[in-house]
Amino acid sequence: MIQLQSISKYFEEVTAVDHISFEIEKGDIYGLLGPNGAGKTTAIRMMMGILEPDEGEIIWNGHSINREDRVNFGYLPEERGLYQKQKLKETLQYLGRLRGMSRKELNSEIDKWLERFDFTDSADRKIEELSKGNQQKVQFILALLHQPEFIILDEPFTGLDPINQVLLKDIIQEQRDEGVTFIFSTHQMEQVERLCTNICLINKGRILIEGPLSKVKEKYRKHAVTVKYEGDLNTGDLEHFIPEFQLENGELTGVLKTPTTDFLDWLNKQVEIISFAHSTPTLEQIFIQEVCSAA
Amino acid sequence: MNRILNIMKWEFMVRFRSKMFLISLFMPLIFMVFSIIPAMLMDKGGDSEVKVGIVNHAEHIASKFKNNIGNKYQFDDGKPKYWIFDYENFDEAKTALQEKTIDAIMVIPAGIMDTSKSKYFARSLSNFKVIDELRNTLSHTVILQRMENQGVAVEMAESISKRVKMDTFEVNKEGKLTEGNELMVLLGPFFFVFLLVMAIFINGQLLLRSVIEERTNRMVEILLSTVSARELMTGKILGLGSLGMVQILFYLSIGVIFGMVKGIEIVRFDELPILFIYFLTGYFFFASIYATLGTLFDNEQDAQQSMTIVSIIAMVPLMGSFYFMANPTALVTKILSFVPPMTPFMMILRISSDAAEPWEIAATVVLMIVSVWGMMTLAGKIFRTALLMYGKRATLPEIWRWIRA
């Protein structure tokens, strides 16, 4: 559906995005991950047409993407803000019209979403009178008001209470079931594990990991370990085997970067091993492991 | 096109409904009233009576002066304007003046017939009209007395010393005569340039604020994912431009009503189309500068300095308007008419004073259209790049690079 073909973006001497390629299928929720300053926002801005790539091409449904295609895109930017002095409903109407919605279609969609988010009584209130969390919901509505085929959500959950997080998640899944494609960018790994089928982890403008979440986890399964032990562990040497580890109540978890046997030989000399198991790593562990070893 | 129209409508409605707009609509009016009313008051002279104390050392003159001023200046109801009180000496009169029993003191020295010198004292010398009337009457009285002393009969003296009155008329292209005074004739062109300057300042400021606002609230990210930077800029400029038109029409109708009441023609309707062309091109020229400034600064305070420079350029023709109107064919007037930022102001001044050649009008209109096109292209290039830059102030070499890109 959308395909990034080796796109790059340079700002003066900085390479923000360095030959990134991936493809997203229709109806997918694609997780775009990476530490701060990895180049996620720049990549998103290029997909949204806010910035032009310096190299490479973005393909939409088989052709080079153009502005008309992007009218069917929805976007929730990470940096948020709205017209504070304007009324909720009028702001929605303005952006809906800008995206070419007819008056009738626009009004019925607005009513639908206002009701869904319990905003019906606030329709004529000024944005500045809404709480921060509510303003964020308004921006979420803005991203999908015009029934886009492709929606980019940059940190949609931050600042929302658990009830609203669930509401958002439900809506994202409903939309996905109707065939809407999502790019979901966040630092909250548990949300990615819950929602995404495919992920792409980038750092310093380059792709570190890309592919289906299940396969990524499978690949790391052999490396992720959980060890219960007794005795004192020399943590300085431990970093040689597991760069980023967690130690809690005599339980060690982390992702190995050396063969398992080497690690066990070393460990056996240090402490008494009570149990040892390969575990499925969390995405958070994979993220930390990859970003740290790339650094 | 549809998108530009939507942006335009939004920008228009948002500002039109704001309290700021109402304030900005009436502010220039208040400013205008305050700058013109005193001039008009001065011209009319106070309608209240004036009490004048006379310290007289020249026997005949004072009584004749009293007669003359009493005859000459009366209110419509026949009551005299000037009330004359005699004082023995100056100190006594001065005390009365300080205690506000009288408004002015005239000292008529004994040798006035030879020296032609007298003195006037008042708490304030701002009422020119009163001073003028008193001086003229005294002068007239002295002249009459001199003639009488030379043996000229009173009637003859009166008719000899009668001053010549000059009524002023303005002749327009069609040869129609309009009676008026000089102040009012100058008012028309000044009024137009004032309107344009106001429209540019107010809407330029709004435009700048609107760009900065969308940059700080990051709406610009959502907007740019739907419209191009050029569409956004054009929509904004047109939206605030139509707001400016509303303002201008509002002021224009006030001007016309004011003119009708005063019986003068402030607006010549046959000149309106060409004046509107200068209005529009002038507005677009400055609007593209303001829109670009909005992208270069993160808040209004930072933008203030560069805005002041732009404003001063626009202010020059307004500040010098009386010189340019008085010397519409002077070289400096002609040269400034061909300097694009000033062209619209200068040409409006000159056209309203009937001092522009047809070829000059044609040439400056072409010049303005070309400059607006150039300015918009330039602004568009900077706008596109600078719009998403945060925190970092663009340097001149960077701006130059964007323009060439």
Chain A residues within 8 A of B218 when measuring between CB atoms? 77, 79-81
Instruction: Report yes or no: A86 at the B interface, CB cutoff 8 Å.
Output: yes
Amino acid letter, B365: V
Percentage of chain A surpassing pLDDT 90?
Answer: 47
CB atoms within 10 A of CB B365: 17
Please tell me which of the candidates B14, B213, B224 has its beta carbon nearest to residue A50.
B224
CB atoms within 10 A of CB B307: 19
pLDDT for residue B393: 66
Pair B207, B236: CB distance under 8 Å: yes
- For A57-100, the pLDDT digits (tens) are 999 999 999 888 888 899 998 877 888 889 999 999 999 999 88
Amino acid letter, B67: N
Q: Which of B17, B226, B228, B388 to mutate to test the interface with A (most CBs of A within 10 A)?
A: B226
Pair B238, B8: CB distance under 8 Å: yes
Dmax (CA) of chain B = 97
- For B257-269, the pLDDT digits (tens) are 877 776 666 666 7
Q: Which of A94, A124, A185 to mutate to test the interface with B (most CBs of B within 10 A)?
A: A94
Among A residues 127-146, those touching chain B with beta carbons less than 8 Å apart: 142
What is the average pLDDT across A155-183? 92
Residue B382 backbone phi and psi in degrees, to 5: -70, -45
- What whole-number distance in Å separates Cα of residue B386 and Cα of residue B378? 12
Tokens at residue A155, please?
């940190």
Tokens 């009337």 sit at which residue? B133
B261, B283, B273: which is closest to B351 by C-alpha? Answer: B273
Pair B92, B99: CB distance under 8 Å: no
What is chain A's mean pLDDT, rounded?
89
CB atoms within 10 A of CB A144: 20
Contact B221 A142 (CB under 8 A): no
Contact B226 A81 (CB under 8 A): no
Contacts by A264-273, CB closer than 8 A, 24 or more apart: A266/A237, A266/A241, A267/A227, A267/A229, A270/A231, A270/A232, A270/A233, A270/A234, A271/A229, A271/A230, A271/A231, A271/A232, A271/A233, A272/A229, A272/A230, A272/A231, A273/A227, A273/A228, A273/A229
Contact B217 A51 (CB under 8 A): no
B156, B171, B142: which is closest to B61 by C-alpha? Answer: B142
Element (DSSP H or E) covering residue A255: strand A251-255
Contact B217 A84 (CB under 8 A): yes
Looking at residue A129, the DSSP 8-state letter turns out to be G
- What whole-number distance in Å separates Cα of residue B169 and Cα of residue B177? 6
Contact B221 A77 (CB under 8 A): yes
Distance (Å) from the alpha carbon of B7 to chain A's nearest alpha carbon: 7
Give the torsion through C-alpha atoms of A84, A85, A91, A95, to 10 deg. Answer: -70
Give the torsion through C-alpha atoms of B22, B25, B28, B33, to 10 deg. Answer: -80
Strands of the sheet containing B50-56, edge to edge, are: B82-87, B50-56, B104-108, B119-122
Cβ-proximal residues to B123 (8 Å cutoff; 6+ apart), any chain? B97, B100, B103
pLDDT for residue B187: 67
Contact A77 B218 (CB under 8 A): yes
Chain A residues within 8 A of B14 when measuring between CB atoms? 83, 85-86
Amino acid letter, B367: L
- What whole-number distance in Å separates Cα of residue B337 and Cα of residue B328? 10
Look at A12-21, A207-216, B298-307 and tell me which has the smallest mean pLDDT. Answer: B298-307
Greater confidence, A181 or A278? Answer: A181
Amino acid letter, B121: F
Contact B216 A81 (CB under 8 A): yes
CB atoms within 10 A of CB B41: 13
Please tell me which of the candidates B14, B219, B225 has its beta carbon nearest to residue A73.
B225
A12, A2, A1, A16: which is closest to A53 by C-alpha? Answer: A16
Please list the ranges in chain B whose pLDDT falls under 50. 45
Element (DSSP H or E) covering residue A278: strand A272-278
Q: How many Cβ contacts (< 8 angstroms) between chains A and B?
A: 54
Pair B82, B129: CB distance under 8 Å: no
Distance (Å) from the alpha carbon of A269 to chain B's nearest alpha carbon: 55
Please tell me which of the candidates A86, A98, A99 has its beta carbon nearest to residue B14.
A86
Distance (Å) from the alpha carbon of A76 to chain B's nearest alpha carbon: 8
Q: How confident is the model at residue A124 (pLDDT cuts 50, 70, 90)?
A: very high
Percentage of chain A surpassing pLDDT 70?
Answer: 99
Pair A199, A216: CB distance under 8 Å: yes
Q: How far is CA B200 from the centre of its chain?
A: 15
pLDDT for residue B197: 81
Please tell me which of the candidates B18, B221, B226 has its beta carbon nearest to residue A98.
B226
Contact B226 A97 (CB under 8 A): no
Cβ-proximal residues to A178 (8 Å cutoff; 6+ apart), any chain? none
Tokens 């009503």 sit at which residue? B257
Q: Which of A41, A69, A98, A153 to mutate to test the interface with B (most CBs of B within 10 A)?
A: A98
Contact B6 A98 (CB under 8 A): yes
Please tell me which of the candidates B2, B221, B228 has its beta carbon nearest to residue A79.
B221
What is the interface pTM, i.e. ipTM, of the complex? Answer: 0.79
Chain B residues within 8 A of A142 when measuring between CB atoms? 222
Element (DSSP H or E) covering residue A166: helix A162-177
Contacts by A4-7, CB closer than 8 A, 24 or more apart: A4/A43, A4/A47, A4/A56, A4/A58, A5/A56, A5/A57, A5/A58, A5/A59, A6/A55, A6/A56, A6/A57, A7/A43, A7/A46, A7/A53, A7/A55, A7/A56, A7/A57, A7/A58
Chain A residues within 8 A of B223 when measuring between CB atoms? 98
Greater confidence, A74 or A219? Answer: A74
Kindly list the distances between the CA atom of residue B38 and the CA atoms of B46, B126, B149, B180, B195, in Å, as whole numbers in the listed order.
Answer: 11, 11, 43, 18, 20
Pair B354, B375: CB distance under 8 Å: no
Chain A residues within 8 A of B385 when measuring between CB atoms? none
Tokens 């998403």 sit at which residue? B388
